[in-house]
Structure 1
């Protein structure tokens, strides 16, 4: 098992199913009266963890991914409702948001592809593909941050690649179970050390939540992993706790080393100031490598329903 891998990797994947484009779904932000058990067919359980069952199914003639609450204790319901609220709060082509919901079920479009982790398990990505994928993740992150959301669990397991392509427009960011939103009256994860050790920022390990620069750290680790085939710190807990500074050599071409080093800084103020700023730096680095710049970020803005 590679470093940083989680047992939930791939639950959104549908390798043998041709699913609709995410844009084909009409978002449903209120509880859907039409979303009844009878309306969901061809259900197949993929996993069950922490009181939530994940399934593939068919709804309104379309393949979907379901998250269903199966343990109705107050803490589990609070976490489930928190995830649904955050995931509904931003709409973007590169973000997988719910298309319908009931009290106990969230319905997502089923992405026809694999996780970025699945792809990296085959081999690291070339600089062109790695920077395109990181650029897609950053475009999604910029939209999240503009909507007041910090993801707090960006990693290859939570990035789907539509059609298995390592491309900008194939990126789909998923899983908002650990996210923070400035628009929610209560952050149920406040003060907790939630995250994946190899990809979480040092301040996140100390319980700091809601700082967008934590996501920029995670994007830096993700780009590092794409290029190197593994994250930068072998002893993730030692690094997070400040007990060691041993980091693997920066991978890929030198033109990427500056932004990688900034993203991986322990001090938040030394990281890029924002997702758009890092996006611009990444695009400039691609041009320095003789690659085409990233798409105009203004063409990939999201909306907050």
Structure 2
């Protein structure tokens, strides 16, 4: 690799921008080789490489001590939201793009477990369906791996993790649908729904900010944000349909056909 620029270093992994094989890449390099750090590093690489989809950032190359990803020119969704919330059109397009990616992940047996604006890149900074790029599989669960190194842990970002995830439940796709609901809420309101995230997760508080955006989206948000996962949409595909229907009720064009955005399992 050439033209390496260090962006960050934490938890034994250095992140850099660089040039590799004639293209710009985002490189993760293992710099602290203890067994736990290596296990987490290899886990992320294995899960990220198991799915190919236009809206999922999978590695270009996987080596013993390095993961090379395409460098996305743009901003994170969080950086975009720092400038203010999105309108219903852009918010539902971004959520639709994330859902298309999540549908592909779930079809390959992967639950992301850390969907949040920081883990959604917007190519070119556009708040659009085809600009979405889902990143960071460090907390993900895959049914194809013989060992889940995070089994039983409370891993996740409190404002975006599902209540059952807080209790150590792993690998339930409905946890991602909860996080998608929080992400859509954040897009519309500029902040997540539960100020006291730990109180909500622990069942000590039910205080939620008022539902943002047009009423046509409120039923969908309510179903996603319920503590009872059996009351959430049955699948990412079902939620995608609900979101597309809600756009129709708002006089907006339907989301793209999911069949045109199919992924590949590896």
Shorter-normalised TM range: over 0.9
Q: 1:112 aligned to 47, 69, 73, which one?
A: 73
Corresponding residue of 1:206: 167
Corresponding residue of 2:103: 142
Q: Structure 1: how far apart are the matches of 2:32 and 2:80? A: 33
SS of 2:264's partner is: coil
Q: CA deviation at 1:101?
A: 1.8
Q: 2:130 aligned to 158, 169, 183, which one?
A: 169
Q: CA deviation at 1:61?
A: 1.0
Corresponding residue of 2:257: 296
Q: CA deviation at 1:237?
A: 0.1
Q: How does 1:149-160 map to 2 (within 5 A)?
A: 149-160=110-121
**Structure 1 length as normaliser, TM-score?**
0.87
Q: Structure 2: how far apart are the matches of 1:49 and 1:87? A: 19
Q: CA deviation at 1:102?
A: 1.4
Whether 1:51 aligns to 2:15 is: no
Q: 1:125 aligned to 82, 86, 97, which one?
A: 86
Q: Structure 2: how far apart are the matches of 1:118 and 1:45? A: 20
Q: Structure 2: how far apart are the matches of 1:113 and 1:304? A: 27
SS of 1:197's partner is: coil
Deviation per residue, 1:70-104 (Å, 9 max, x gap): 00000000000000000000000000000012110
Whether 1:218 aligns to 2:187 is: no
Q: CA deviation at 1:149?
A: 0.1
Corresponding residue of 2:189: 228
Gapped regions of structure 1 (runs ≥ 5): 1-39
Question: Superposition RMSD on alpha carbons, in Å?
Answer: 0.3
Q: CA deviation at 1:247?
A: 0.2
Q: Structure 1: how far apart are the matches of 2:176 and 2:22? A: 36
Whether 1:280 aligns to 2:221 is: no
Whether 1:178 aligns to 2:139 is: yes
Q: Structure 2: how far apart are the matches of 1:101 and 1:88? A: 8
Corresponding residue of 1:30: none
Q: Structure 1: how far apart are the matches of 2:259 and 2:229? A: 26
**Structure 2 length as normaliser, TM-score?**
1.00
Deviation per residue, 1:224-250 (Å, 9 max, x gap): 000000000000000000001000000
Q: Structure 1: how far apart are the matches of 2:63 and 2:157? A: 29
Q: CA deviation at 1:195?
A: 0.1
Q: How many pairs align?
A: 266
